[in-house]
Structure 1
Amino acid sequence: MLRRNSDSNYSYPLTLTLALAALVIIIAGIRAGADLIVPLLLALFIAVICTAPVNWLHRWGVSLRLAVLITLLVIGGFLSLVGLLVVNSFSTFIQALPGIESRLYERYLDLLDSMASMGLAIDPDLLAGLVEVEDGSAWLPTLLGGLGNLFVQSVLIALLVIFMLYETLNFRAKVSLALDDPAPSLQRFEEFSQTLKRYLAVKTVISLVTGVLAWLACVVMGVDFPLLWGVLAFALNYIPNIGSALAAFPPVLLLLVSQHGGVADAFMLAMAYLVINFTLGNLVEPRMMGRALGLSTLVAFLSLVVWGWMLGVVGMLLSVVLTMTLKIALDSHPETRWIAYLLGPGKEPVVAAKGFGEEPSVSERDEIT
């Protein structure tokens, strides 16, 4: 008995070391293959979102293949229309960018002069030389190359989404043929799929409402290119903690330096962004998702850092989605459910609400565990 216990205790450090080594290899592989993994992840999550309207059409009597075709046509047409509007707005923004840079540079010089006149040891000429307005031709080829790469990636992602949606039609049959006892695996996969689709649907709807409200705020305040800032707010809403601030910074700064704007208008727009993100992010979204689909603040921030380091900007956009996918997958299996509990926000202990020395009831004990 002693020998068996000693062997068991000896295996714990070895198992932990092997697990950490495997984790390091997986992380290194993900970072090395980021160019291949990013389109696959984007296509996978878009396909998961598209399964909701497919299932809705199928419940109304439409065949699965026709439902997939209708969903692809509607979503493709909508995204094409929005894309054309965004590209038109972005091209107009590029044309107006030199004037915006000049006004921003003038405001920067005025700020340096004001700080120097207040007695601060600041040399306006020295600091102004650090932020010279460069010629747009220096970064224009890089921008055009990035846009070309974005177009190629978009076509690849669209093709992957089409193939993935049609592949899901026979997925259950393939799993049934591949496994001897497919019922438990199909049940766990069904739970995982439903929870993931619910999370992605809620997060996408919240992001869409955030983008629309940001667009309305920019229109009301008279900010140029409101559609561009609305799309930016929609995309950056997937980034935890800092996404809303990053989305608000360009329109607020643009309104600050515009001819018809000013400090008061920029402050009002910043407050509008703050109210939108606080209301949707802290009041509406937790009620729609529930605490079971939440992450702790530390885990959300760490996921932003880790996934951003591995996959770049797309990793930052999908950081919470990827971590939530991992949490849902861990929660779907009894042996790994404890890790999912650690990733979640947790609950306020019921014992703290009781009197000192009182024992919690059986139901309270179950709620704590």
Structure 2
Amino acid sequence: MGSGSGALRVMAGSRVNVPGPRCGVSCRGARPPAPAAPGGVVAPGIPTGRGFCCRLAAGRHPPRSPRPSAMTPEHSEQRSGERFLFLAAAVVVVVAGLKLGAPVLLPFALATFLAMMSAPVMFYCQRHLPAWAALTVTLVITATVFGVLIGLATQSAADLQPQLPRYRAGVENLWANTVRWMESHGFVPERYLSPDLLDPDRIFDLVGGAVRQVASFFSSAFIVFLILAFMLAEATVIPYKVAAVMGRGRGTRRYSKIVLEVQAYLGIKTVVSLGTGLTIGLFAWAMGLDFPVMLGIIGYVLNYVPTIGSILAAVPALVLSLLLVGTPAHAGVVALGYIVINTVFGSILEPNLMGRRLGLSTLVVMLSLLFWGWVWGPVGALLSVPLTMIVKIMLENTEDLRWVAMLLDKQPPQAYAASRAEAGARVRAAAAAAAAPEGVPEGGDGSGPGTVDPPSEGSLETGEASASTAPEVA
């Protein structure tokens, strides 16, 4: 009795976990005492330990119930319906937040666009100037450009006021000529035209209301400029923060690719729009139209809206041609000139510079114009296509939602896949070109003790200035 209890005590103090049949259910109370070997050690081959099932070892365990297989089709359809309802509710909440938060989100969105377009200028200046000087130069250049544009638009609007009586007479003359032409061809003007259709007061009220809305937005330009300054000040360290949060892996590469593609789109679109605006201004001046500077600015701004923007930009020029000259031949020449300009810049030059992938279908452009115009007003309509393009680029870099980006694109699926591969090779080449001079500081060969750690992939692909800032950020 004493030796048996001693053996049990030894067994309890030196339990050996030998692999054996387990079912995950403890039955310690039904476990028989393990015999002890000479010397007080548990005999080998006896499985013990938490989770050992004595009934399974003795062959008296009931058969396990099979694991449930995959969900039935009914359950799968139910889960899909629940997911769709959840996503629809989330979309409604996001849209409501965008509309209610327009006074705050709209200046922030505009400042983000300006920061993405100004960041390459600041990174270039950082190669030759200190960080604070590069930031100051970038802000001065940005403020000067937009100050000149706003000043020219304001001056043109002020010059419009003295010309209103002449335009009113032109509207009345155009109305009389239209009625006379319809009567000569057997039409009854009262059946097709309303007397209020070309009412000068109504037209000028509509135009003045749109101008006042845009002017009220630009009155908050100081807030936009302040947000832009802080964004550019943080632009140097944002890639390091992203690398610290996501790690230098797939997340950082995805962020870098999104930023690089958005910068490429906005940069190319800005250059093409600037060329379009200058050409339209010169063409309007050559055709003898009033306010060629204003027409050029309108062409520059509306060129950010593909397809529809070029049509809307031609409307003021055609109206001025009909009011000032009043001949269909002159209006036809103006329309032909706009068609040629937009074909050269929008259909030939821009696709060659931007690539086929950075495009939207015409239906998506129209829907985005209506949606963002409803959410954020006239300024939202101007930013509609860049906003939709940014969403499309983010969807392209998300595997689960890439199919949505394919639906937004204007190409068939096969051409879309080929253009994605081409764009990926272009992004990798640009990242390698940006990374090449950054790994070696000035005066070194990259192998001595004076070298520094290269910056993260995000900073390389977004064009960060120099690797000498890496130790400071770290």
Equivalence map 1:19-30=2 (5 Å): 19-30=87-98
For residues 303-357 of structure 1, what are the alpha-carbon distances to aligned partners after superposition, in whole Å with 9 as ceiling and x for unaligned? 222222222222221121111101111122333323222222234758xxxxxxx
Query: Aligned-pair distance for 1:123?
Result: 3.9
Change in CA separation of 1:170 and 1:130 when aligned onto 2, cut-off 3 Å: closer
Structure 1 residue 247 corresponds to structure 2 residue 313 = yes
| Contact 1:235–1:317 (Cα < 8 Å) also in 2 | yes
For residues 212-270 of structure 1, what are the alpha-carbon distances to aligned partners after superposition, in whole Å with 9 as ceiling and x for unaligned? 110011011111110000001111111233211111111221122215x6322221111
Match of 1:18 in 2: 86
Structure 1 residue 171 corresponds to structure 2 residue 238 = yes
Equivalence map 1:1-369=2 (5 Å): 4-6=70-72, 7-58=75-126, 60-123=127-190, 127-128=194-195, 131-134=198-201, 146=213, 149-177=216-244, 179=245, 181=247, 183-259=249-325, 262-347=327-412, 349=414
Equivalent position SS for 2:260: helix
TM-score (norm 1): 0.85
| Contact 2:303–2:310 (Cα < 8 Å) also in 1 | yes
Query: Aligned-pair distance for 1:189?
Result: 1.0
CA distance in 1, matches of 2:301, 2:215: 20
Across the aligned residues of Structure 1 and Structure 2, the Cα RMSD in angstroms comes to 2.9
Instruction: Give ranges in structure 2 of 5+ residues lacking alignment.
Output: 1-66, 423-474
CA distance in 1, matches of 2:160, 2:78: 64
Instruction: Give ranges in structure 1 of 5+ residues lacking alignment.
Output: 351-362
| Contact 2:119–2:235 (Cα < 8 Å) also in 1 | no
Query: Aligned-pair distance for 1:154?
Result: 1.8
Whichever residue aligns with residue 77 of structure 1, its letter is T
Match of 2:37 in 1: none
CA distance in 2, matches of 1:210, 1:349: 32
| Contact 1:98–1:136 (Cα < 8 Å) also in 2 | no
CA distance in 2, matches of 1:95, 1:135: 18
TM-score (norm 2): 0.67
Q: Whose Rg is larger?
A: 2
| Contact 1:53–1:71 (Cα < 8 Å) also in 2 | yes
Equivalent position SS for 1:254: helix
Whichever residue aligns with residue 190 of structure 1, its letter is S
**Deviates most, 19-28 or 78-87:** 78-87
Query: Aligned-pair distance for 1:110?
Result: 2.1
CA distance in 1, matches of 2:384, 2:165: 34
Query: Aligned-pair distance for 1:144?
Result: 8.6
Change in CA separation of 1:136 and 1:349 when aligned onto 2, cut-off 3 Å: closer
Query: Aligned-pair distance for 1:31?
Result: 1.7
Which is richer in helix? Answer: 1
Whichever residue aligns with residue 290 of structure 2, its letter is D
Query: Aligned-pair distance for 1:170?
Result: 2.3
CA distance in 2, matches of 1:142, 1:300: 25
| Contact 2:406–2:413 (Cα < 8 Å) also in 1 | no
| Contact 1:241–1:301 (Cα < 8 Å) also in 2 | no
Match of 1:356 in 2: none
Query: Aligned-pair distance for 1:272?
Result: 0.6
Change in CA separation of 1:346 and 1:134 when aligned onto 2, cut-off 3 Å: closer
Aligned length: 350
Query: Aligned-pair distance for 1:84?
Result: 2.1
| Contact 1:240–1:301 (Cα < 8 Å) also in 2 | no
Change in CA separation of 1:253 and 1:141 when aligned onto 2, cut-off 3 Å: closer
| Contact 2:111–2:224 (Cα < 8 Å) also in 1 | yes
CA distance in 1, matches of 2:386, 2:208: 33
Change in CA separation of 1:141 and 1:342 when aligned onto 2, cut-off 3 Å: closer
Change in CA separation of 1:73 and 1:119 when aligned onto 2, cut-off 3 Å: same
**Deviates most, 198-207 or 248-257:** 248-257
Change in CA separation of 1:344 and 1:138 when aligned onto 2, cut-off 3 Å: closer
Equivalent position SS for 2:219: helix
Query: Aligned-pair distance for 1:39?
Result: 1.2
CA distance in 2, matches of 1:10, 1:137: 56
Match of 1:355 in 2: none
CA distance in 1, matches of 2:351, 2:376: 27
Change in CA separation of 1:64 and 1:332 when aligned onto 2, cut-off 3 Å: farther
Change in CA separation of 1:13 and 1:139 when aligned onto 2, cut-off 3 Å: closer
Change in CA separation of 1:140 and 1:307 when aligned onto 2, cut-off 3 Å: closer
For residues 53-103 of structure 1, what are the alpha-carbon distances to aligned partners after superposition, in whole Å with 9 as ceiling and x for unaligned? 112223x43233322211111221232233323322221112212321221
